[in-house]
């Protein structure tokens, strides 16, 4: 065995031999062209692997150019060619010389926010007529997309040795070339000529972090030749043609020439040739390796740009493939007894909404903050995640409730808190936005309760992001246009009416886009307003609305009983065109139902256009599109289609969107919110949503209307029940809001519970009829006894429930719903056997009968003469293939709210029927259904106030 001294001597001899060999021959060429080709081939394989994982995914590179310098064009063509060979989708963004700094920054911001763009470069120098700060421009490229590595943040990371970010392309290429020479960077003497921001400085930093000993030289450096002669690695980027001579090179050194200069050469057709900053011929006699010019650093710069772009795309793809959230839950500090809901809500400081958005995988361009606690979520997330599998879909419904409610929202929130904060699963709550009617009327807040709430509670219950106000404005704009059209048709001759509808503007008459659609509907194949015949002008201009058959009503989002019947048009200016009408509450508007059912903006617009607002004197429907108002409605509603992101007390994500009336509409939150949530949670996650009232109304509409429209298949039904509601159905005394509960409800009474179980059993049966496993959540109240709870649990299991568990989320937060979470997870693994209750091809009467018999237990259906007549009209108009949206009391399985339990064989009276063509359903009405609630003698208004010292809302719940 050699001694240490002998080994050292041998290494030194070999090193001397290597240097002697290298100096005895011409330096080997470090071909950037060859190495770059190898790198591109490897990148091509990387891209192909990405596409196998995500077939619709393409790495994207945007090259921004201001002006049209030919040298820049040459470089851009090289980059586009290289990108194409690798499989990168490149976009050449050409901006004119007249581009201003503001315009350029705006374009960069668009690209920063485009999820299909993974790399952005700005071609320098800028060829602009206006002064543009190039440093500001490079810093405006997002650090995550700065594949040139010129953003100050990325430069700073390199400076401190953080090489996980994007490294500038030319310096990165220099290091790769040095490594390919075989020289050991660690411990080597490196000299860098040049200290530019783009090459010299970052090269020196990279060499330093590769453990070389680095000397940086520049125009002020003394004894430049002597310093270069000490270099094992010499990097030259000083911008002077052939400055470095052969005798500057240490024998055996590696020389990397970053310069490119044009010098005169009469032997060339162009009269010049390109050389580097190093005298290549002379340096080759001393160096062991040397890069040529061209064909050295240049191709490597392009290759490293492509490498950075692919790396950026890989990170984006990894984010798409990584479904597990990095959700940071918020701990709860429990108090006993449990304080008021609003005190609990205020005791928890929500996370900043942008933090929550980042935790659940949203991109910054998909989030529009409204303050720091809530944000609108853009529909573009659906495009980005289009190929991603949906998560599990869970709907929370209730048994037939008491007037106090049985805690569906609270259970939903508690379940999501359990799934996220305690079981570390991805889970989203999707809820309706509360109406101000109930908030200021009887119910108060609707954000859940106890330690299972949505926060901030005040924001959730009051205005939120203004969607209901937008619906109100759009609805009333349509009402105003409807009445205005009736007035103008009644007070003008046809020619004058036509001329005003299609006026001359700057000497030209044109039909607007929406007027062109009306012409097509009328079968008039003309585009010039001057060519219509008098008959066609009348056909186009006159809707001939039957004022006795106007179905559209104005809305307001408060309880106001005096608006249940009004007279409009009483001003003398309306020339006696009065008629009776009424208001409904905003959440009962068809526009609100459409907002909840629209799948995207195009679907939203089409549904708005199809809304039937009245019938003409021949019995034909008149639509919003006929009134020319569709586009204006969509403009008012353009932001309302985006759901609002909030959070629970434990920091779980919530999407709040739409608030359709559960009596007159389908009573569910929006399809858009559910679809966004289903993509964000991933295939192992859960989206928990709510259907209004009991399974007979809310769940049936959720399945037969919402799921039919969305195409999303539910996995589990969570059926919420309470001992209190079971006792009421078992014959207990009336439950009255604001009045103390009778002793029957606060003391153990197994007999009442047993008698009321029939109602719970019926709701379990309803869920099973759709082929969806039903998990019963027994929402425990303080006075419930163990015997009562166990009686219900056993009865549920014996009558078809997949599982039945007792929940204490109101007092214990997500920890109190852990058993429920386990049951839901287990049930979701069952293979789906979901089916709709009825086929749309069935006649209207058959669909109504199916719902009444299967969901309510009815034996017969009784139709008034008016209803039968309307059904025949709907059939003639082609509306008979729409689903049914039953309007019935939620307080009973029958049409009579006073009848409790689960009666069978009764007759359901249908005394009226209406249609919402835009929303896409027919509404049979049984019993008294008011779409405009009234305030009680003592509404919640008396308790609600604003503390002028603290700015806090008091008494909301």
**Which of the residues are catalytic?**
79, 123, 148
914 and 923 Cβ atoms separated by less than 8 Å: yes
Alpha-carbon gap, residue 204 to 159, rounded angstroms:
9
What is residue 146's DSSP assignment? -
| Angle formed at CA 557 by CA 380 and CA 349, multiple of 5 degrees | 60
Alpha-carbon gap, residue 591 to 698, rounded angstroms:
19
Tell me the DSSP string of 263-305.
Answer: EE-TTSTTSEEEE-SB-HHHHTTT-SEE--SSSSHHHHHHHHH
Instruction: Say how many Å lie between the first and final Cα of the chain, rounded.
Output: 86
- H-helix or E-strand spanning residue 602: helix 601-610
955, burial (CB in 10 Å: exposed 0-12, middle 13-18, buried 19+): middle
Residues in contact with 332: Cβ distance below 8 Å, sequence separation at least 6, in sequence order:
348, 451, 649, 650, 813
Q: Which of 307, 244, 304, 256 is nearest to 31 (CA)?
A: 256
Strands (E), 600-677: 612-616, 621-623, 644-648, 653-656
846: preceding bond cis by omega (within 30 degrees): no
Query: How many beta carbons lie within 10 A of that of residue 601, not counting itself?
Result: 14
Alpha-carbon gap, residue 257 to 242, rounded angstroms:
10
Torsion 48-50-56-58 (CA) sign: negative
Alpha-carbon gap, residue 271 to 254, rounded angstroms:
31
Per the document, the length of the chain is 957
Alpha-carbon gap, residue 522 to 527, rounded angstroms:
13
| Alpha helices, DSSP H, located in 506-563 | 513-522, 534-541
C-alpha of 928 from chain center? 39
């Amino acid at each position: 065995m050699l001694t240490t001294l002998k080994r050292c001597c041998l290494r030194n001899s070999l090193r001397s031999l290597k240097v002697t060999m290298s100096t005895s021959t011409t330096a080997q060429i470090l071909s950037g062209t060859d190495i770059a080709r190898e790198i591109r081939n490897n990148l091509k394989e990387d891209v192909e692997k990405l596409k196998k994982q995500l077939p619709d995914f393409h790495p994207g590179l945007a090259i921004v150019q201001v002006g049209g310098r030919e040298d820049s064009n040459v470089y851009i063509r090289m980059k586009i060619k290289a990108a194409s060979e690798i499989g990168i989708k490149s976009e050449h963004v050409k901006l004119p010389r007249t581009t201003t700094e503001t315009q350029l920054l705006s374009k960069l911001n668009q690209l920063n926010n485009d999820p299909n763009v993974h790399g952005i470069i700005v071609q320098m120098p800028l060829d602009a007529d206006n002064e543009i700060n190039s440093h500001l421009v490079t810093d405006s490229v997002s650090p995550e997309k700065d594949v040139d590595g010129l953003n100050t943040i990325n430069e700073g990371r390199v400076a401190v040795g953080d090489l996980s970010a994007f490294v500038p392309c030319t310096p990165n290429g220099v290091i790769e070339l040095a490594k390919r020479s075989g020289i050991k960077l660690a411990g080597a003497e490196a000299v860098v000529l040049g200290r530019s921001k783009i090459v010299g400085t970052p090269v020196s930093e990279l060499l330093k972090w590769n453990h070389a000993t680095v000397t940086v030289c520049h125009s002020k450096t003394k004894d430049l030749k002597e310093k270069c002669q000490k270099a094992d690695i010499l990097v030259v980027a000083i911008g002077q043609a052939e400055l470095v001579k052969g005798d500057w090179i240490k024998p055996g050194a590696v020389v990397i020439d970053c310069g490119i200069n044009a010098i005169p050469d009469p032997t060339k057709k162009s009269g010049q040739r390109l050389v580097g900053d190093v005298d290549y011929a002379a340096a080759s006699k001393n160096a062991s390796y040397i890069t040529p010019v061209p064909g050295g650093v240049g191709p490597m710069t392009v290759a490293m740009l492509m490498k950075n772009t692919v790396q950026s795309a890989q990170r984006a793809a990894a984010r798409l493939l990584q479904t597990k959230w990095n959700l940071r839950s918020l701990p709860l500090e429990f108090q006993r007894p449990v304080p008021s809901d609003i005190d609990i809500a205020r005791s928890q400081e929500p996370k900043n909404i942008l933090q929550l958005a980042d935790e659940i995988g949203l991109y910054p361009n998909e989030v529009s903050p409204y303050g720091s606690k809530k944000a609108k979520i853009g529909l573009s997330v659906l495009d980005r995640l289009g190929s991603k599998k949906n998560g599990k879909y869970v709907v929370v419904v209730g048994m037939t409730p008491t007037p106090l409610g049985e805690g569906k929202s609270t259970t939903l929130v508690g379940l999501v808190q359990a799934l996220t904060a305690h079981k570390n699963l991805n889970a989203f709550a999707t809820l309706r936005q509360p109406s101000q009617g109930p908030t200021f009327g009887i119910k108060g807040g609707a954000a859940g309760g106890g330690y299972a709430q949505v926060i901030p509670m005040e924001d959730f219950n009051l205005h939120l992001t203004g969607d209901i106000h937008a619906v109100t404005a759009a609805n009333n704009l349509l009402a105003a246009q409807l009445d205005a059209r009736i007035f103008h048709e009644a007070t003008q001759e046809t020619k004058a009416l036509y001329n005003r509808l299609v006026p001359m503007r700057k000497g030209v008459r044109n039909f607007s886009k929406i007027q062109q659609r009306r012409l097509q509907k009328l079968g008039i194949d003309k585009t010039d307003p001057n060519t219509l015949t008098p008959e066609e002008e009348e056909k186009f201009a006159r809707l001939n609305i039957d004022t006795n058959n106007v179905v559209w009503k104005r809305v307001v989002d408060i309880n106001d009983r005096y608006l249940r019947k009004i007279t409009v048009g009483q001003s003398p200016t309306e020339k006696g065109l009065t008629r009776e009408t009424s208001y409904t509450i905003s959440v009962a508007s068809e526009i609100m139902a459409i907002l909840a059912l629209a799948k995207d903006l195009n679907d939203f617009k089409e549904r708005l256009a199809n809304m039937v607002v009245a019938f003409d004197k021949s019995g034909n429907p008149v639509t919003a599109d006929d009134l020319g108002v569709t586009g204006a409605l969509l403009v008012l509603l353009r932001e309302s289609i985006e759901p609002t992101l909030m959070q629970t007390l434990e920091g779980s994500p919530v999407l709040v969107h739409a608030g359709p009336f559960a009596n007159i509409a389908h009573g569910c939150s929006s399809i858009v919110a559910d679809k966004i949530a289903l993509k964000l949670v991933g295939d192992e996650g859960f989206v928990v949503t709510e259907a209004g009232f009991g399974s007979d109304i809310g769940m049936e509409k959720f399945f037969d209307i919402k799921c039919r429209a969305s195409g999303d298949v539910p996995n589990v039904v969570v059926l919420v029940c309470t001992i209190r509601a079971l006792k009421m159905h078992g014959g207990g005394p009336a439950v009255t809001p604001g009045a103390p509960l009778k002793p029957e409800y606060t003391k153990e009474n197994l007999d009442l519970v047993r008698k009321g179980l029939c109602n719970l059993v019926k709701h379990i049966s309803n869920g099973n009829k759709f082929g969806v496993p039903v998990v019963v959540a027994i929402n425990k109240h303080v006075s419930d006894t163990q015997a009562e709870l166990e009686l219900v649990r056993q009865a549920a299991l014996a009558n078809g429930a997949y599982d039945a568990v007792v929940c204490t989320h109101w007092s214990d937060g997500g920890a109190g719903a852990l058993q429920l979470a386990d049951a839901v997870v287990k049930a979701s693994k069952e293979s789906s056997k979901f089916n709709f209750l009825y086929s749309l091809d069935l006649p209207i009467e058959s669909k109504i009968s199916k719902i009444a018999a299967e969901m309510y237990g009815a034996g017969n259906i009784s139709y008034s003469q008016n209803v039968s007549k309307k059904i025949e009209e709907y059939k003639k108009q082609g509306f008979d293939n729409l689903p049914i949206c039953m309007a019935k009391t939620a307080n009973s399985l029958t049409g009579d709210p006073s009848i409790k339990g689960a009666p069978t064989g009764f007759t359901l009276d249908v005394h009226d029927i209406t249609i919402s063509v835009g929303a896409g359903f027919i509404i049979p009405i049984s019993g008294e259904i008011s779409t405009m609630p009234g305030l009680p003698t003592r509404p919640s208004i008396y308790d609600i106030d604003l503390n002028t010292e603290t700015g806090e809302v008091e008494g909301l719940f």
